[in-house]
């Protein structure tokens, strides 16, 4: 996963991404598990959390809207 990034704390462009699973409670008070991406600055440790549902949905939309290559003759 590649995300544009400049750390808001230290200005570094170096980061790594980890995947984490956290329990979530739905409206019916049942527990489910949600997947999240943790984007961590390699220099200072500043961390941002992104929902995998949203990020993956956006990636699929970008791929769907991308122009299709023409077949070779």
Token pair, residue 2, equals 């590649």
> What is the predicted pLDDT for the residue at 61?
56
Confidence of residue 60 (pLDDT cuts 50, 70, 90): low
Alpha-carbon gap, residue 9 to 64, rounded angstroms: 34
Q: Report if pTM > 0.85.
A: no
| 69: DSSP letter | P
Above 70 in pLDDT, residue 4? Answer: no
> What is the predicted pLDDT for the residue at 20?
93
Structure-model confidence comparison of residues 71 and 41, the more confident one: 41
For 6-59, write each residue's pLDDT tens digit: 888 999 989 999 999 988 887 777 788 889 999 999 999 999 999 888 877 765
Could you please report the per-residue DSSP string of 46-60?
Answer: -EEEEEHHHHHHHHH
Across 36-61, b (16+ Cβ under 10 Å) vs e yields bbebbbeeeeeeeebeeeeeeeeeee
């Amino acid at each position: 996963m590649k995300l544009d990034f400049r750390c808001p704390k230290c200005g570094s462009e170096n980061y790594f991404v980890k995947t984490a699973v956290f329990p979530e409670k739905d409206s019916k008070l049942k527990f489910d598990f949600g997947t999240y991406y943790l984007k961590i600055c390699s220099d200072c440790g500043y961390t941002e959390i992104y929902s995998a549902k949203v990020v993956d949905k956006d990636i699929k939309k970008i791929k769907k809207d991308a122009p299709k290559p023409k077949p070779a003759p």
